């Protein structure tokens, strides 16, 4: 463990996953099973399509006074773990009282630009191992580490030393990706960015501009589309949102450059076009048929998307520059109606969206990240009721 700390210092939810499909089915996945061995779902026509229009009610402010919150992981025993991008710390928030307890700093975090302590996820065996995974920008790379969380240890010492699970993800002042999530197949999915080096997205040997699929120990997962590679999909600019619907289809949000932000339905081995294609063409299809089109797209002033979550038949997507929450109702792996915006300008920049169960969501603001305009109480966690 001391060797890991030295590397970090010198260099340095639970969601659901599995079967992924585009609008026409599940390329790269058999009709009966996903890459992780889960049984495929019923046909989209058998699924309930949500209403074209939904609703959002702000139930309450859960917590205030957070510094650059990024990752958010609900604990099964109660409470929320929150990562501070710029401070490199993890804080436990009591979701009933809003009380905050700083658990400690993740050693080796090198916060600069859009990098720092980013996504959080709980081990799929959390009940037994109490492991918390984090996506960390170090002085040399972006990497995934895991730490033991023991609430019985003395205050400020609840987090164990970080153990590096996976390293070598390119880093930059921009486009570090950072969202991590475990799926029902027990595998770890990692969204990465191309760090501003556009060519990395199409280079299948690079880890930049990709969605990666790993075992909890950091190895390429069985069934990954490219031999001996963790790359699950490529041609991405900057993936900061990962979520799966009730039928275990994977969706990802992606920052565009100057024209189109995207929500994509992810298929294993598929190419999402960056930097050759951004969004759909005027005819509704990319110029090159080998690229996957997004299921929804937005002008960058209206979105700049980060986290996403699935609830009540829709994907809910946080907008940073757009300062709003988007609802994208689904029919299978396609949008069943036009996206609908909520909370426009009410809370500033929105970063992370996490299911709180049923019709509830937790949403974090991102106004203390150097690009927002903080108000009294920022940053905060909101509880929403959605339909």
pLDDT-based confidence at 65, cuts 50/70/90? Answer: very high
pLDDT of residue 359: 98
44-56 per-position pLDDT tens digit: 557 899 999 999 9
pLDDT of residue 25: 33
140-189 per-position pLDDT tens digit: 999 999 999 999 898 888 999 999 999 999 999 999 999 999 998 999 99
DSSP state of 200: G
CA distances from residue 266 to 6, 223, 232, 254, 270 in whole angstroms, order as listed? 37, 15, 9, 12, 7
Over residues 236-264, mean pLDDT:
97
pLDDT of residue 157: 87
pLDDT of residue 30: 28
pLDDT of residue 79: 97
322-345 per-position pLDDT tens digit: 999 999 999 999 999 999 999 999
Q: Which DSSP string do the residues of 361-387 spell out, in sequence order?
A: EEEEE--SSSSS---TT-S-EEEEEE-
Give me the domains of the chain, ranges plus CATH numbers. 2-25+47-386 (2.120.10.30)
Over residues 57-69, mean pLDDT:
98
pLDDT of residue 219: 98
Q: Is a pLDDT exceeding 60 seen at residue 16?
A: no
Over residues 126-141, mean pLDDT:
98
Helical residues (DSSP H) of 25-75, grouped into ranges: none
* Residues facing 73 on adjacent strands: 81
**CB burial readout 293-327, b (16+ within 10 A) else e:** bbbbbbebebbbbbbbbbbbbbbbbbbbbbbbbbb
273-287 per-position pLDDT tens digit: 999 999 997 666 766
pLDDT of residue 4: 33
Q: Is a pLDDT exceeding 90 seen at residue 70?
A: yes
pLDDT of residue 15: 35
Is the sign of the CA dihedral 327, 300, 231, 106 positive or negative?
negative
pTM greater than 0.75: yes
Q: Is a pLDDT exceeding 50 seen at residue 233?
A: yes
In the chain, what percentage of residues exceed pLDDT 90?
Answer: 83
Strands 100-105 and 69-74, sheet pairing? unpaired
CA dihedral 22, 28, 32, 38 (to 10 degrees): -80
Q: Is a pLDDT exceeding 90 seen at residue 384?
A: yes
pLDDT-based confidence at 21, cuts 50/70/90? Answer: very low
pLDDT of residue 45: 54
Q: Is a pLDDT exceeding 50 seen at residue 98?
A: yes
Mean per-residue pLDDT over the chain, rounded: 89
């Amino acid at each position: 463990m001391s060797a890991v700390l030295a590397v970090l210092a010198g260099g340095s939810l639970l969601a659901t996953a599995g079967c992924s499909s585009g609008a026409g089915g599940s390329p790269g996945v058999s009709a009966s099973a996903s890459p992780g061995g889960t049984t495929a779902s019923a046909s989209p026509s058998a699924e309930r399509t949500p209403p074209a229009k939904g609703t959002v009610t702000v139930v309450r402010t859960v917590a205030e006074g957070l510094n650059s919150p990024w990752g958010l992981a609900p604990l099964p025993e109660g409470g929320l773990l929150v990562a501070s991008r710029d401070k490199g710390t993890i804080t436990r928030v009591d979701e009933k009282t809003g009380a905050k307890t700083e658990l400690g700093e993740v050693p080796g975090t090198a916060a600069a630009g859009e990098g720092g302590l980013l996504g959080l996820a709980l081990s799929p065996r959390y009940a037994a191992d109490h492991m918390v995974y984090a996506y960390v920008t170090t002085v040399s790379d972006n990497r995934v580490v895991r730490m033991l969380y023991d609430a019985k240890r003395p205050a400020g010492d609840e987090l164990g030393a970080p153990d590096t699970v996976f390293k070598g993800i390119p880093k930059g002042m921009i486009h570090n990706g950072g969202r991590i999530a475990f799926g029902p197949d027990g595998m770890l999915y990692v969204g990465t960015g191309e760090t501003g080096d556009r060519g990395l997205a199409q280079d299948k040997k690079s880890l930049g501009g990709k969605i990666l699929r790993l075992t909890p120990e950091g190895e390429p997962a069985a069934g990954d589309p490219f031999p001996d590679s963790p790359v699950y999909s490529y041609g991405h600019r900057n993936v900061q949102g990962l979520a799966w619907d009730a039928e275990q289809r994977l969706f990802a949000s992606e920052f565009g450059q100057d024209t189109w932000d995207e929500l994509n339905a992810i298929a294993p081995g598929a190419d999402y076009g960056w930097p050759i294609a951004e969004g759909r063409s005027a005819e509704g299809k990319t110029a090159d048929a080998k690229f996957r089109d997004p299921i929804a797209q937005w002008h960058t002033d209206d979105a700049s998307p980060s986290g996403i979550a699935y609830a009540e038949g829709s994907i809910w997507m946080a907008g940073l520059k757009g300062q709003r929450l988007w609802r994208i109702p689904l029919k299978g792996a396609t949008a069943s109606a036009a996206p609908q915006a909520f909370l426009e300008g009410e809370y500033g920049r929105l970063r992370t969206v996490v299911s709180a169960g049923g019709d509830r969501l937790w949403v974090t603001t991102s106004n203390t990240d150097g690009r927002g305009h903080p108000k009294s109480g920022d940053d905060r966690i909101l509880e929403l009721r959605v339909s």
